[in-house]
Amino acid sequence: MRILHTSDWHLGRSLYNHKRYDEFANFLDWLADTIEDREIDVLLVAGDIFDTGMPSNRAQKLYYQFLNKASQKGCKHIVITGGNHDSPTFLNAPKILLEALNIHVIGSVSDNLEDEIIVLNDEQNQPKLIICAVPYLRDKDIRTVEVGESLNDKNQNMIDGIKAHYEAVYAIAKQKQLSFVDNVPIIAMGHLFATGGKVSDDGGVRELYVGSLARITEDCFPKGIDYVALGHLHIPQKVGKREHIRYSGSPIAMGYGEASQQKQVIEIQFIKKQLVINELPVPCFQPLLRIKGSLSHILAEVKLLKQKSSDAWLEIEYSGTEVVGDLQEQLNEAIAYSLLKIIRIRNQQIVSKALTQMVENETLAQLNETEVFMRCLDSFNVPYEQREMLLTSYQEIIHSLSHEDHQAE
């Protein structure tokens, strides 16, 4: 079987309030064509299909249109697991209907771990692949709260919970493997944060658990697994330099920090029981460019892009020494009659000037929830030695709220 590993589509995501539906549609069309051209039998999508738990109608339409197209293009099986951005309830809602098309959706952990084991058969109805379709493991899925536990205890309990879950699921898969005549490969899926994983500065990757806790290592996955298809980190990478444990990365740049990355999907085959991996580059469907410097430098770069008929979306950061009050007007004039689009302008001189006058007029809208909490600690003169535990407890509350399944009854 030819297998394709992808993740982190984040359908519906905007870039500074600019919609990107055309970009998502172009990627999904390319992916469907790749499935046909490469004769892909199995597509694995390791979480974060949507950017929010309540995706727009247009994002949903892209999703269902793609599933239909991929099936028509010859993809025999599609396995989708939920990520931390996804609503398990929303993903699971059409589960029974999609199974009729050999589309398997595992939105959340089930009481019966057998539900996470998917055996894929060939045209002769012979087993060819076993999938441990593990979705994003929420805090409540992997540990119980213990009175008086330290941060180290909490961290270890989370890691132990993740490891125990994979061991339990793998044990079921191994039993099935032993019952088959042929040595059927076992693939595990996951959506989690690996120790040492590379992230971009503005890719929008949220910590899955609290703070920096529960970053897993390659040892969390049983050694008998032939390939681990991971999602969550947007940069394609291996875990612990293990060839068979990989993040496919996001297929399009989620922010300007990812703009220079070569995006990819990963093709997997087992030829004579040997794992063969092929990294397939994903085309760039919407160029993103960040231009930083003096006004003369920025204008020169814009002029060069116009000459090349570029259609890039630009993030402009003015870092010159002089205050330029009409920066936006000059930039709008510079891109006139071109395909260029300015998405964001950062005027460092104006910002610096404003910051010196900001404290007295500061509003809640200008602060995130962690900054508000830290201001409260300052205002009540909370000793620094107590702040780590208080901040962690506060982050747990925020984490719980942000990961609540709002689609559930």
What single-letter amino acid sits at 78? Answer: I
Q: What is the pLDDT of residue 319?
A: 85
Class (C level, CATH) for 288-355: alpha beta
DSSP letters along 58-90, please?
A: HHHHHHHHHHHHHHHTT--EEEEE--TTS-HHH
- Cβ–Cβ < 8 Å for 298, 320: no
Residues 340, 287: Cα–Cα separation, whole Å: 10
DSSP letters along 112-130, please?
A: SGGGGEEEEE-TTS-EEEE
- Cβ–Cβ < 8 Å for 259, 285: no
Residues 16, 344: Cα–Cα separation, whole Å: 7
Two structure tokens written together for 360: 């007295």
End-to-end CA distance of the chain: 39
Angle (CA) 146-147-151 rounded to 5° is: 70
Angle (CA) 153-159-162 rounded to 5° is: 140
Q: What residues does 45 pair with on adjacent strands?
A: 6, 80
Instruction: Kindly tell me the sign of the dihedral angle through the C-alpha atoms of 51, 209, 207, 279.
Output: negative
- Please give the model's pTM, rounded to 2 decimal places: 0.84
Instruction: Kindly tell me the sign of the dihedral angle through the C-alpha atoms of 135, 136, 140, 145.
Output: positive
The domain defined by 3-281 carries CATH number 2.30.40.10:
no
Q: What is the pLDDT of residue 354?
A: 47
Angle (CA) 277-283-289 rounded to 5° is: 125
Residues 255, 290: Cα–Cα separation, whole Å: 10
- Cβ–Cβ < 8 Å for 393, 151: no
DSSP letters along 310-352, please?
A: ---EEEEEE--SS--TTHHHHHHHHTTTSS-EEEEEEEHHHHH
Q: At what angle do helices 295-307 and 327-334 cross, to 10 degrees?
A: 20
Angle (CA) 239-258-292 rounded to 5° is: 140
Residues 380, 383: Cα–Cα separation, whole Å: 9
Q: What is the pLDDT of residue 359?
A: 47
Q: What are phi and psi of 38, to 5 degrees?
A: -90, 0
pLDDT in tens, the chain (409 residues): 899 999 999 999 999 889 999 999 999 999 999 999 999 999 999 999 999 889 999 999 999 999 999 999 999 999 999 998 999 999 999 999 999 889 999 999 988 999 999 999 988 889 999 999 999 998 777 776 666 677 777 778 888 889 999 999 999 999 999 999 888 999 999 999 887 777 776 666 665 554 555 677 888 999 999 999 999 999 999 998 889 999 999 999 999 989 999 999 999 999 988 999 999 999 999 999 999 999 999 999 999 999 999 999 999 998 888 877 788 899 999 999 999 999 998 876 655 554 444 444 555 555 667 777 887 888 777 887 777 778 877 876 776 666 565 555 5
Q: What is the pLDDT of residue 357?
A: 47
Non-local (6+) Cβ contacts of 17 within 8 A are none
Ranges of each domain in the chain: 3-281, 288-355, 364-402
Residues 302, 145: Cα–Cα separation, whole Å: 55
**Count of CA atoms in the C-beta half-sphere (13 A) of 253:** 22
Q: What is the pLDDT of residue 210?
A: 47
What single-letter amino acid sits at 400? Answer: S
Q: Is 268 helix (H, G, I), strand (E, B) or coil?
A: strand
Two structure tokens written together for 83: 């990520």
Angle (CA) 342-248-98 rounded to 5° is: 100
Q: What is the pLDDT of residue 117?
A: 96
